[in-house]
Structure 1
Amino acid sequence: MRRQIFSFLFIFITLFFQAQSVIVKGVARDTTKTRNFVHITVNDTLRKYREMATKAKIRNGDAYLELTKNKDLVTRADSLGNYTIKAKLTDTLYFAKYKHYTQKYKVEDIIKNKIKVQLVPEPCVPYVACEEKIPSQFYIFIGEKIAMNFKEDPYYCNAMSLDMGGFECIYRIKEKVYGGYPKDTIEFKAYDHYGSPAFGKYKNVLLFVSEYCGKLYHEKYQFYDLFKTKDGRWASPGDPYKNDQFLKEKTVEAQKMEFGEDAWVDLSKMVKNEKEKYVPPYYKVVGDKAFPLMGNYVDDLVKAKANGVLKGRSIKLDRN
């Protein structure tokens, strides 16, 4: 009987101490000399939460952000590779870094064997910079989206991608405005710091695309949403500088015009700063809908960009 009690107490004490948290101090480095810091997560908590949220279709960025700030779950190594985190002996630490193979070790083993983590990078490709400072070709067209899909950039050995990747776009060209692109469909890449390119929300858009070193790229953030007016012409509603608020030199003014019945904007899902674009005298707001009262035809839209953003980017349009 005493032996059974002793065995029970031994197991209980063992489990009790295994369940206690300890301070884990170690080293985690990469082979690129900490170009990015190594992140350490207890029991792969962040990835598991993302998977759970995706399956349950939960969109709560605040909850995820709080998890990333929880020092009992997440930390990162410093510039020398040193890290400190609280965990149980039975926990597993996951060591991860962008474009490196993740490694995992039990806390008990890390302490017992004094494991120093050295993350191994994924295979990389050399980055070859394009030396063209201005585009070799420039195209302006009215387009309708066929496809827009995100594609991660290659993992470059000697450079970092600021956006991690871009959107591969395929558009049907409804009307060629400038540059005379030779086909009726066009494929180009679009990069955006804020996520999915805003022009992808609209059915018809006026787009500005440049060719650098044989590849086509959307001129970042440059577009106009387009609708037909009652006289059958393409026009963009609102202020012609609605996406260029900080531009000092403004040479084009919005004109009164009558748009077709499909030219209205749904405000119901917009936040306050988004709704600020849809105000008088450019729009008439009725409930959650904004109906355009003013706008500009394509010629004036091109003029606004040519004398503004494009000029600032050293892109000159041949008006001949």
Structure 2
Amino acid sequence: NKSSFDSKFLAKYQIIKPYKGSYHGAEIEFTVFDHYGVPQFSEYDHVLLYVVLHDGKYYHSKYQFTPVYKTKSGFWAGAYAAYDYTHSNNANTTIKPVKIDFYSPVEFDISGYEKEEVEVWFPQPYYNISGNRATAVYGNYLNELFFLKQQGVLKARGDFQQM
């Protein structure tokens, strides 16, 4: 649509394990709209995606995803996400980041960030900073990752509130 600023994608993902909701397939196909081009979640091997059913079709809740990584204890967890903790709806959350023993180091290239941006998005002690790399030390497990999104941006949108 030439009048739209968004690109439209049809995504198909394998489901390792559904976390919430009533979808029971091994794969899910859904529509994604993204203003910035290719959806950022496609850059990660494993993500917790927020998909809603509307008029019989599945849609990705715009820009909402959480990269997840295996832990040494066999669970899935995500690195500390400042954007979830700083959402105005989460100002009084009781959820706190915990030290996570990830199976493999969860590292981010911070070479394109200014020092002030690194302090906001990859703050210590939640990340160890070494050169152009930020390595996650803290994060949250799936239930807390979902709760932060549900009470934050998804609540503001009215999504995932009847769970």
Cα shift at 1:197: 1.5
Residue 166 (str. 1) matches residue 11 (str. 2): no
Residue 295 (str. 1) matches residue 136 (str. 2): no
Q: Distance in 2 between matches of 1:281 and 1:296?
A: 14
Q: Distance in 1 between matches of 2:87 and 2:153?
A: 10
Match of 2:61 in 1: 219
Match of 1:237 in 2: 79
Query: Which runs of no fewer than 5 residues in structure 2 stay unpaired?
Result: none
Q: Distance in 2 between matches of 1:244 and 1:222?
A: 14
Residue 247 (str. 1) matches residue 80 (str. 2): no
Q: Distance in 2 between matches of 1:161 and 1:287?
A: 40
Match of 2:158 in 1: 314
The alignment's TM-score, normalised by the length of structure 2, stands at 0.85
Give identity over the alignment, percent: 35
Residue 258 (str. 1) matches residue 95 (str. 2): no
8 A Cα contact 2:97 2:139, kept in partner:
yes
Identify which of 25, 44, 51 aligns with 1:209.
51
Cα shift at 1:244: 6.8
Match of 1:176 in 2: 18
Cα shift at 1:286: 1.8
2:162 counterpart letter in structure 1: L
8 A Cα contact 2:87 2:152, kept in partner:
no
8 A Cα contact 2:30 2:60, kept in partner:
yes
Task: Give the alignment's Cα RMSD to 1 decimal.
Answer: 2.1
Deviation string, structure 1 residues 254-313 (Cα, Å, up to 9, x no partner): 112221224222334x33376441231110012222211100000011111221222212
Cα shift at 1:221: 1.2
Match of 1:285 in 2: 129
2:57 counterpart letter in structure 1: K
CA gap of 1:248–1:176, structure 2 versus 1, over 3 A, is closer
What secondary structure, in the 3-state scheme, does the structure 1 residue paired with 2:17 have?
strand
Query: Which runs of no fewer than 5 residues in structure 1 stay unpaired?
Result: 1-152
Structure whose alpha-carbon radius of gyration is higher: 1
Cα shift at 1:246: 4.1
Match of 1:140 in 2: none
How many residue pairs are counted as aligned between the two chains?
Answer: 158
Match of 1:37 in 2: none
Q: Distance in 2 between matches of 1:244 and 1:217?
A: 25
2:15 counterpart letter in structure 1: I
What secondary structure, in the 3-state scheme, does the structure 2 residue paired with 1:217 have?
strand
Q: Distance in 2 between matches of 1:225 and 1:191?
A: 18
8 A Cα contact 1:306 1:317, kept in partner:
no
Identify which of 32, 40, 47 aligns with 1:198.
40
